[in-house]
Amino acid sequence: MKTWLGRAGFNILVVLIILYSLFPFYWVFKSSLESSIALNQPTSSIWPLQWTWVHYQVIFAVENFLRPLLNSMFVAGSATVISVILGSMAAYGLARMPIRGKVLILGFILLVSFFPQIAMVGPLFLVFRHLHWLNTYQSLIVPYLILSLPITTWILTAFFSQIPADIEEAAMVDGASIRQTIVKVFAPIAMPGIFTAAILGFLLSWNDFLFALSFIQSPNMQTVPLALVNFRNAYYVHYGQIYAGVVVASLPIALIVLFLQRRIEAGLTAGSVKG
Amino acid sequence: MISLYPLVYNVVLSTRYDVLTQPGTSHFVGLGNYQQILSNAHFWADMGRTGIFMVVSVTLEFVAGLILALVVHQQFKARGLVRASILIPWAIPTAVSALLWKMFFDTRSGFVDFALHALHLPGANMVWFNSPTLAWVPIIVSDMWKNTPFIALLLLAGLQTIPLEIYESARMDGASAWQSFRSLTLPLLRPAIMVALIFRTLSALLVFDVVYVLTGGGPGQSTEVIAYYDWYKYLVSLNFGVGATVAVIITIFALALAALYVRLLQQRGEFLS
Amino acid sequence: MRELTKFRRSSLGVLGAATLTLTLAGCGSSTSAVAHNVTLVFATQGLGTEAQATNAAVAAFEKIHPHIHVQIETLSASSNNAYQSLVTDLASGSATPDVITSDVIWPATFAAAKWIMPLNQFHPKLSAFFPGMVKAGVYHNELYAMPWFINVEGLYYRTDLVKTPPTTFAQLISDAKSAMSKNPKLMGLAFEGNKYEGAVTVFQDVSGGFGGAFLNAQGKPVINSPQNIEALTWLDNALKTGLTPQAATTWEEGNVQQAFLSGDAVFATNWPYLYPLAEQTGSAVKGKVGFVPPPVQNGTPTASLGGDSLVINKNTKYPQQAWELVQYLTSASTMMHRALISGDPPARTDAYTASLLKTAPWFKQEEAVYKYATPRPVTPLYPQISAKIQEALSAVYSGQTTPTKALDQAQQAIQAILNNNGN
């Protein structure tokens, strides 16, 4: 009897957790299909009252929401590629380093990752202004590198350290060059780790709001979060369009998470990354 | 090295009078900015609010995260689904999730209103964003929704390192589930708990996106936090001297947390697994 | 680490190139095969019909001046973002944008920072423009901004519910109450109460009506004057007594528009843009709308001035061409066409031609309100001052403090801002 109760209670808890995590998305999706008239009513219901796809049409045809999507992908993508390349090189060195120096450098990297984002806004703003970089892709790619590089390096070092050096030594003994060893032997083993670091680095850049808010001003340079927050004309905030925009912006992220959940979890715990 | 540059630049800027809209007036003021900021009631009010937010949000998120982790640690059918579903809110950009909750708490067509109505609970038709205390509710709910999964994952990783045999032997010794949780799980989980708490405390100290999107610091300044204050100094007042001063103060707090983390890792005798 | 930095830099070069190609691809739509000697960059806000009007005016200008090409740079629709982007452009000493659409509250800041060009050298003819609008562009006795279109925060009322528009605040309340008693679903007054600039313009309307002001003639803050306290108390009471719903404390123009157009409000404060929307077919209040100056009580009718003017970047390479563009855009005929396309009210009286009034009869009523257009304080520190007023209003509306205390505090803060030791 007691176990039965416990089971039921546990199942209810599980259902509640799923609802808590996912129901908001349902509500957003539902609202994105609701006509503006219904959205402005003081009451609402669990199903859309007046179905319409018009908000989706408007955000792409009129508001050009594709542009921020592409901007975000380009900026976050570039930052991720660069930071994974640099991070891999640094991490490989670190992982194969004697323990003392490693601790020092890793300690430094850690310290950098604690450096508050808000404290970077002012100095970077002045530097970018000086370089005439404000409102350009560089003005986001560089800060995103600063954000993601410590974390990718940290995660990659953790992953690379687990790969025994014997494998490489064996390859070298067999007459492989350093290059061949890295490309043919090390890289395939390291790939999952690199992939994990890339996902986390990408999410970190994709999720930024503060830097985009501070360094980007023109509507066609906006990233997705910034574009959504600014979804309005001079006088009017269009709820339906925001709902539709949130759906469009969340979908790729949700897919990434669903398919790559294990990698993300592995990366988060390996690196104890900040959220 | 590039990352250190802003830090140094901030320290230099913080000793200067530097307002972008007043070109040609920039000059050295020594510690004048610090004096001005530290004697400013507005600054302290924002620090106080940030402190309260840190305590409340981190506590709530920790408790919820622990429950989540314990649940997901069990073996059950829908485990993969649950793990994926709690990760999705974490992966959504903070600004976007804040926007989502802003509309949920809206008095028209918002979900919270709808739910309270449907359940005949008080609070329907409430204007959440017009109350100095209730305006915190959307902020904290939004922050929790996004960040609890992160704590849960770190704790879950910690739970998975605890060998099951310990529990077996505890049960044989006649310990109840609660007893073994208190005397076995919690102590063994301590390192993971500390890591989770430090990271969350740091990001609560720096909370910005949620506040900017949900309330803009209002009503009045009742939800204004220190990062918002700093951003405002930098990019609305364009007062880079004062902005840098506040930034340096925030950085000191952040680095103290970092030091705590490093010490913790050293105590564990490991920098990396 | 050194090598890393180097690598980073070279890879940025590649990215820069990629950026350029992307940007160029993005600009593909504005094709113009003609070779132009001069390209002016015109930074402006406005989407939809406003953008249409701007494009039409610019195309006409290019036809008359074949040697000048005008490239339109659209600024963010959010006023704050647009301001920030202009400040960063101008503060960097950039030569572009050459011509800028400026909200009426910005020219003083830009002028004080020496970012925009004094315009007296071009000998502008100003007699046809609304005086309030001209005043907003004058800083230290020098004109910096040419009025482009005017905007005022006026009072909308329902002609079917209120026979004659109220001239006093007490009258407004009794009119609203009598309409509400006949139909309890109605709200008396809808106004913008969110913590943002729009709340300041509403407050300015009421403050002026009670005889108050933000700064006195000497530029000293008088924000906690008895008149202002009375004005804020009046607005606060509207919320407390249910004349205005609590939700209005989060409302911006769009929400007020929603309330008025759906027929739920007897009175509403808003800008002229709402008038054509109310007269549209399908509007619940079509043919039942009036627009008047806000009422008074011991003060003068005050309609907070909004609207946009045109300013010229001080570092522009082509001052003469820039001025020609400004002159063209602010001519009576361009303004009239703009009014026809987008409904933006012309900033000069001679643009209200018979043909305009025939197509858009509401401009007649609007013009009567423009007489009372009052600019917000023309000072480079206005953004900071406004932030303090917004805070005070929001603190009162949310019941955290009394109008007296809030305005006393705002007075102190604004005093400090003007004394330059804190903001």
**C52-78 pLDDT tens trace:** 899 999 999 999 999 999 999 888 777
Neighbours of B90 (CB within 10 A): 25
Q: What angle do CA C75, C78, C83 make, to 5 degrees?
A: 60
- Where do runs of H (alpha helix) occur along A96-186? 99-113, 117-131, 138-162, 165-173, 178-180
pLDDT at C49 over 50: yes
C-alpha closest to that of C255 among C269, C243, C242: C269
Q: Is B22 on the interface with C (CB under 8 A)?
A: yes
Inform me whether the pLDDT recorded for C42 exceeds 90.
yes
The answer to whether the CB atoms of A137 and C15 lie below 8 A apart is: yes
User: What is the reported pLDDT for B175?
Assistant: 83
Report d(CA A181, CA A195) in Å as an integer. 20
Alpha carbon of B192: minimum distance to chain C alpha carbons (Å): 31
pLDDT for res C335: 94
Contacts of B237 in chain A (CB under 8 A): none
Number of domains, chain C: 2
Q: Which residue in chain A is spatially nearest to C85 when comparing CA positions?
A: A217
For residue C131, give every residue at least 6 positions away whose Cβ sits within 8 Å of its Cβ, in sequence order, or none. none
Those residues with Cβ within 8 angstroms of residue B127's Cβ, 6 or more apart along the chain or in another chain: B107, C246, C247, C249, C250
Q: Are residues C77 and C213 in the same domain?
A: no
Asked whether residue C12 is domain-assigned, the answer is: no
Give the residue from chain B lying closest to A24, CA to CA. Answer: B100
Residue C373's pLDDT band, with cuts at 50, 70 and 90, is: very high
Among C165, C173, C101, C169, which residue's Cα sits nearest to residue C137? Answer: C101
Which CATH number fits the domain that encloses residue A188?
Answer: 1.10.3720.10
Distance separating alpha carbons of residues C236 and C398, to the nearest angstrom: 9
Residue B230 near residue B246, CB atoms below 8 Å: yes
Closest partner residue to C87 among B20, B108, B217, by Cβ? Answer: B20
Q: For residue C80, what is the nearest residue in chain A, using CA coordinates? A: A217
Same domain, C212 and C272: yes
Q: Would the CB atoms of C84 and A217 count as touching at under 8 Å?
A: yes
Indicate the number of domains in chain A.
1
Does residue C317 sit in the same domain as residue C191? Answer: no
- What pLDDT does residue A275 have? 40
Chain C hits for A38, CB-CB cut-off 8 Å, are none
Whether A121 sits inside 8 A of B234 (CB atoms) is yes
Question: Assign residue C83 a region: left if phi > 0, alpha if psi is -120 to 50, beta otherwise?
Answer: alpha
Say if CB B159 and CB B70 are below 8 A apart. yes
Q: Which residues of C touch B37 (CB under 8 A)?
A: none
Whether the CB of B91 is below 8 Å from some CB of chain A: the reply is: yes
pLDDT reported for residue A234: 61
Paired strand residues for C304: C153, C374
- Reading the block at residue A11, the tokens are 């199942």
- Residue C16 in any domain: the answer is no
Phi-psi region of C123 (alpha: psi -120 to 50; beta: other; left: phi over 0): left
Q: What is the mean pLDDT of residues C88-99?
A: 85
B105, pLDDT greater than 60: yes
Contact C117, C319 (CB under 8 A): yes
Other beta carbons within 10 angstroms of residue B176's beta carbon come to 10
> Nearest by CB to A230, which of C74, C81, C92?
C81
Test C383 with B221 for CB contact under 8 angstroms.
Answer: no
Mean pLDDT value across residues C300-322 = 94
**pLDDT over 80 at C296, yes or no:** yes
Reported as a pLDDT band with limits 50, 70 and 90, residue A271 is low
User: For A179-192, what is the mean pLDDT?
Assistant: 82
Query: Could you tell me which residues are beta bridge partners of residue C43?
Result: C73, C100
What are the structural domains of chain B? Answer: 4-267 (1.10.3720.10)
C321 within a domain of the structure (yes/no): yes
pLDDT at res. A100? 72
Structure confidence at residue C123 (pLDDT): 93
In which band, very low, low, confident or very high, does the pLDDT at C21 lie, cut at 50, 70 and 90?
very low
In a domain? residue A232: yes
* Closest C-alpha among A254, B211, A90 to residue C3: A90
Q: Is B259 helix (H, G, I), strand (E, B) or coil?
A: helix
Token reading at B212: 């900017």
The answer to whether residue A81 is domain-embedded is: yes
To test the contact with chain C by mutation, choose from B4, B21, B239 the residue with the greatest count of C C-beta atoms within 10 A, namely B21
H/E stretch holding A54: helix A54-61
Same domain as C388, residue C286: yes
For the beta carbon of residue B216, count every other beta carbon within 10 angstroms.
Answer: 20
Residue C272 lies in a domain: yes
Residue B64 tokens read as 């919820």
How far apart CA C151 and CA A195 sit, in angstroms, is: 55
Alpha-carbon distance C210 to nearest alpha carbon in chain B (angstroms): 24
Contact C308, C45 (CB under 8 A): yes
In a domain, A9, yes or no: no
* B62 in reach of chain A (CB within 8 A): no
pLDDT at position B182 is 85
Tens of pLDDT, residue by residue over C378-387, are 988 898 899 9
Q: C-contacting residues of B 209-238, CB under 8 Å?
A: 216-222, 235-238
Helix residue ranges per DSSP H, C79-225 = 79-91, 107-112, 131-135, 169-182, 197-209
Instruction: Note whether C299 and C350 are same-domain residues.
Output: no
B150 touches chain A (CB under 8 A): yes
pLDDT grade for C221, boundaries at 50, 70 and 90:
very high
Segment (H or E) for C305: strand C303-312
Q: Is residue A93 part of a domain?
A: yes
Residue C320 lies in a domain: yes
**C91 and C206 part of one domain:** no
User: Which chains form contacts with chain A, at 3 or more CB pairs under 8 Å?
Assistant: B, C
Instruction: Give how far Cα A216 sits from Cα of A147, B19, B239, C319, Å.
Output: 17, 20, 19, 27
Torsional sign, CA C31, C36, C39, C42: negative
Same domain, C219 and C336: no
> Which residue of C lies nearest to B222 if distances are taken between CA atoms?
C395
Same domain, yes or no, for C328 and C398?
Answer: no
More confident residue, B67 or C19: B67
B120 vs A1, which has greater pLDDT?
Answer: B120
Q: Which two tokens stand for residue A80?
A: 């991720």
CB-CB contact of C369 with C152 (8 Å): yes
The distance of C121 to chain A (nearest Cα, Å) reads 30
CA nearest to A81 within chain C: C11
CA distance B127 to chain A (A): 13
Q: Which chains touch C (3 or more CB pairs under 8 A)?
A: A, B
Residue range A29-67, pLDDT digits in tens = 998 998 887 777 767 778 888 888 999 998 898 778 999
Least confident of A153-167, A242-256, C297-311: A153-167
Q: Which helix (H) or strand (E) holds C292?
A: strand C289-292
Indicate yes or no: CB of A138 within 8 angstroms of CB of C12: yes
Q: What is the mean pLDDT of residues A92-96?
A: 85
Domain co-membership, C241 together with C203: yes
Mean pLDDT value of segment C294-314: 94
Whose CA is closest to A40, among A259, A237, A253, A263?
A: A237
Q: Please give, rounded to a whole number of angstroms, the shortest distance from the CA of B56 to a CA of chain C.
A: 22
Q: What is the pLDDT of residues B115-165, one digit of tens each?
A: 888 888 777 677 888 889 999 999 999 999 999 998 998 899 888 888 888
- Which of B3, B199, B250 is nearest residue A118 as measured by Cβ atoms? B250
Query: What ipTM does this complex have?
Result: 0.91
pLDDT for residue B33: 92
B228, B139 Cβ separation under 8 angstroms: no
Do C128 and C62 belong to one domain?
Answer: yes
Residues of chain C contacting A67 with CB distance shorter than 8 Å: 26
C22 belongs to a structural domain: no
CB < 8 Å to B131, chain C: 398-399
Whether residue A37 lies inside any domain: the answer is no
**Is B28 in the A-facing interface, judged by CB distances under 8 Å?**
no
For the cut 70, the answer to whether the pLDDT of residue C226 exceeds it is yes
Asked whether the CA dihedral A108, A109, A115, A121 is positive or negative, the reply is: positive
Q: Is the pLDDT of residue C126 over 80?
A: yes
Q: How far apart are the first and last CA of chain C?
A: 40
Q: Which of A147-161, B15-29, B204-218, C81-95 has the highest mean pLDDT?
A: B204-218
Q: Are C294 and C269 in contact (CB under 8 A)?
A: yes
Same domain, C299 and C364: no
Which of C1, B247, C68, B214 has the alpha carbon at shortest distance from A115? B247
Domain encompassing residue A156: 59-271
C-alpha neighbours within 13 Å on the C-beta side of residue C393: 32
Among residues B142, C319, C260, which one has the least CA distance to residue C251?
Answer: C260
Confidence of residue B272 (pLDDT cuts 50, 70, 90): very low
Q: Does residue A53 fall inside a structural domain? A: no
Place B257 in a pLDDT band, splitting at 50, 70 and 90.
confident
- Residue-wise pLDDT for A4-14, tens only, equals 778 888 888 88
Identity of the amino acid at C269: T
Domain with C174 in it:
152-304+376-418
3-state helix, strand, coil in chain B (%, to 5): 70, 0, 25
Confidence of residue B13 (pLDDT cuts 50, 70, 90): very high
- Contact between C110 and C102 (Cβ < 8 Å): yes
The whole-angstrom separation of Cα C191 and Cα C255 is 9
Those residues of chain A whose CB sits closer than 8 Å to some CB in chain C are 40, 67, 74, 78, 82, 86, 89-90, 125, 129-130, 132, 134-138, 141-142, 145, 217-220, 230, 232-237
| Residue B77 burial (CB count, 10 A) | 9
Q: How confident is the model at residue A216 (pLDDT cuts 50, 70, 90)?
A: confident
Judged by a CB distance cut-off of 8 A, whether residue C402 touches chain B is no
Chain B residue at shortest CA distance from A248: B96
Residues C67 and C125 in one domain: yes
CB contact under 8 A, A268 and B154: yes
Give me the residue from A119, A207, A264 closest to B251, CB to CB: A119
Cβ within 8 Å, pair C421-B22? no
pLDDT at B1 over 70: no
Cβ pair B258:A239 closer than 8 A: no
Please tell me the distance from the alpha carbon of residue A264 to that of residue B86, in angstroms, as a whole number: 12
Confidence at residue A96, expressed as pLDDT on a 0 to 100 scale: 80
How many other CB atoms sit within 10 Å of the CB of residue C418? 17
Give the pLDDT score at A269. Answer: 72
In a domain, A32, yes or no: no
Mean pLDDT of C13-23: 37
- C94 reaches B (C-beta below 8 A): no
Per-residue pLDDT at C365 exceeds 60: yes
Query: Is pLDDT of C6 > 50?
Result: no
Residue C29 lies in a domain: no
pLDDT digits (tens, 9 = 90+) for B167-221: 888 888 888 888 888 888 888 888 889 888 988 999 999 999 999 999 988 898 8
- C11 occurs within a structural domain: no
Instruction: Answer whether A24 sits within 8 Å of B104, measured CB to CB.
Output: yes
The verdict on residue A18 lying in a domain is: no
CATH number for the domain spanning C62: value is: 3.40.190.10
Please give the model's pTM, rounded to 2 decimal places. Answer: 0.87
